[in-house]
Structure 1
Amino acid sequence: MIFAATFILGALLGCVGAGGAGLTITLLTVGFGIPIHTAIAVSLSCMTFTVLSGAVSHYREREVLLKLGLSVGIAGIVGALLGTRTAFLIPGNLLAPATAIMLLLTTALLYLQLFLPHLIADYVARNKSSATGATFYIRSAVIGLVTGFLSGAFGIGATAFIQISLMLFFGISLYHAIGTTMMIIFPIAAAGGLSYLAGGMMDSSVFFQTLAGLTLGAFIGAKFTHMIPKEYLRYLMISMPLIGGLILLMY
């Protein structure tokens, strides 16, 4: 049943091009009664594999900024480990609504990025020339620590947080932000997943079913993306974390 459900979810996510870490957590906890800590562990571990192919693809398209990705990703590992250790101390009845709130914040950031890019355009342009020398590494460390912590503690990919941070504080284009974010998420997800595994919160059966369902579903769903008008894709992309956050919050 978990495989079937995550296959359908993966097809939807693949169709609209969304990451779906938060929706995966919502599905596992609300739909199957899996403890929130285990659901986060499974979500992070699955992300390790799903973002790898995306990162390689973006690298081949020259949309990955290696220096930026490495500096933020290394700091993100530290943040993810701190986040998982913090999550271990939070009771499930508090961690679930906190994760839901993070999904709603993700929705807000996606809305800003997709519908109101002109509001940040000037700020992005100003920071393009200032992110050099020590400033480059300080900003990289702060962004990596914060987004890594959010991923480790709440199981979300923090994709929207990373992308908009890279654009705001490094002045890079949206395409480079998307590609570099894929590279950054990989070490963060790997570190977080391994930390939950070491903490004894991983369910291998749930993990393999979820990974298989999401991977196969996303592969098939991606083939139907071109059938959806572009003006509707934006609304579908922000609806995913919104629905997941609201369901988890009510639950």
Structure 2
Amino acid sequence: MLILGTLFIMGCLLGLTGAGGAGIVIAILTAAFGVPIHLALGTSLGAMAFTTLSGAVSHFREGNVRVRTGAAVGAFGAIGSFLGAHVAALIPSSNLHWLTGGMLLLSMILMYLRLYHPNSGPFAHATKEELRGGSRFWFTAVGAGLVVGFLSGTFGIGATPFIQLSLLILFDLPLVTAVGTTMLIIMPIAVFGGLGYLLSGNLDFTLFFQVVAGLMTGAYVGAKFTNRIPRSVLKVCMTSIPGIGALILFLE
């Protein structure tokens, strides 16, 4: 019940911000419940498939999803995630612990820069027109999907900030639409990444169902509030969640 309650609260936050949340879930499972890092990676990533399904449905009903963009990036992301899961199995637990935390910290920094300083640094040359079709759309979707998928599979994170950054910068989606579309993208990434971890023997089904039950219920509830809270609050949540996960992993 403690795991269910904790992950329900996390699910609400993840549904609110459009995050898959594998990174913060990994941190909680390892630090609070003593789950080995590889097992936490596989279980949390696999659970994201169900969490994001719940959140994506809720966001779709709220009108926050670009289906074509999400399906295209997600399909190629699934390929990258499956490959990344096999790479993760070769990395020692101690190294993977720090690498996952480092990726979460990097994602927090990049998200902060994009949301609070959108016209400076690497974001100054972002596209100013929403990308919806054509050869440029597919070239961008293939590249973005493979990169974010590989990051997800290798480090067990949903790579939510990286996905949202690609949608905001490369596809120029509005903030709320990027949040909802991210949920759709994470689904195939989580399915194939989880499959890769399962084949490597790093997925616990009992823990998996506990994580799914808590997160899926919370994500559906949280997604209902994305359009209803101030944008300033949404930005703080999107920026701080990966940072909290990194901090827990570094201190654990």
Range class of TM-score, shorter chain: 0.7 to 0.9
- TM (normalized to structure 1)? 0.85
Separation in 2, partners of 1:227, 1:178: 13
What residue number does 1:205 align with? 206
Inter-partner Cα distance in structure 2 for 1:235 and 1:64: 21
AA in 1 matched with 2:75: I
Of 203-212 and 229-238, more deviation after overlay is shown by 229-238
Instruction: Report the counterpart of residue 181 of structure 1 in structure 2.
Output: 182
Q: Give, in angstroms, the shift of residue 115 of structure 1.
A: 2.0
Question: Which of the numbers 117, 121, 126 marks the counterpart of 1:123?
Answer: 126
Distance in 2 between the 1:74 and 1:163 partners?
16
Q: For the structure 1 residues 134 and 15, does the alpha-carbon distance in structure 2 shift closer, same or farther, using more than 3 Å as the test?
A: closer
Return the structure number with greater helix share: 1
User: What's the secondary structure of 1:170's corresponding residue?
Assistant: coil
Are the counterparts in 1 of residues 80 and 146 from structure 2 also a CA contact under 8 Å? yes
The answer as to whether partners of 2:21 and 2:48 remain within 8 angstroms in 1 is no
Residue 140 (structure 1) shift: 1.1
Identity, % of aligned positions: 50
Q: Secondary structure at the match of 2:202?
A: coil
Q: Which amino acid aligns with 1:143?
A: A
- Tell me how far 1:166 sits from its aligned partner: 2.1
Change (3 A) 1:150 1:226: closer
- Is 1:2–1:206's contact at 8 Å kept on the other side of the alignment? no
> Given that residues 7 and 214 in structure 1 are in contact (C-alpha distance below 8 angstroms), is that contact kept between their aligned partners in structure 2?
yes
1:123 partner amino acid: A
The verdict on how the C-alpha distance between 1:48 and 1:223 changes in structure 2, with shifts beyond 3 A counting, is: closer
> TM-score, normalising length from structure 2?
0.84
Greater C-alpha Rg: 1
SS in 1 for 2:158: coil
Matches of 2:72 and 2:15, distance apart in 1? 29
Q: 1:193 to 1:184 in 2, by over 3 A?
A: same
Q: Partner of 1:110 in structure 2?
A: 111
C-alpha separation between the residues in 2 aligned to 1:180 and 1:219?
15
RMSD: 2.9
Report how far residue 206 of structure 1 moved.
1.1
Please report how far the alpha carbon of residue 187 of structure 1 lies from its aligned counterpart in structure 2 after TM superposition. Answer: 0.6
Alignment correspondent of 1:91: 92
Q: What does the per-residue CA deviation read over 1:191-230, in whole Å, with 9 as the maximum and x for residues that have no partner? A: 1112212222111111112222233455666788899876
- Give the Cα separation in 2 of the matches to 1:114 and 1:107: 11
- Range with greater deviation from structure 2 (43-52 or 68-77): 68-77
Offset at 1:101?
0.6
8 A Cα contact 1:124 1:168, kept in partner:
yes
1:54–1:227 distance in 2 versus 1, CA, 3 Å: closer
Any idea what SS the aligned residue of 2:198 has?
Answer: helix
The gaps in structure 1 that reach 5 residues or longer are none
Displacement after TM superposition at 1:76 (Å): 0.7
Q: Size of the alignment, in residue pairs?
A: 249
Q: Which moved more, 1:65-74 or 1:4-13?
A: 4-13
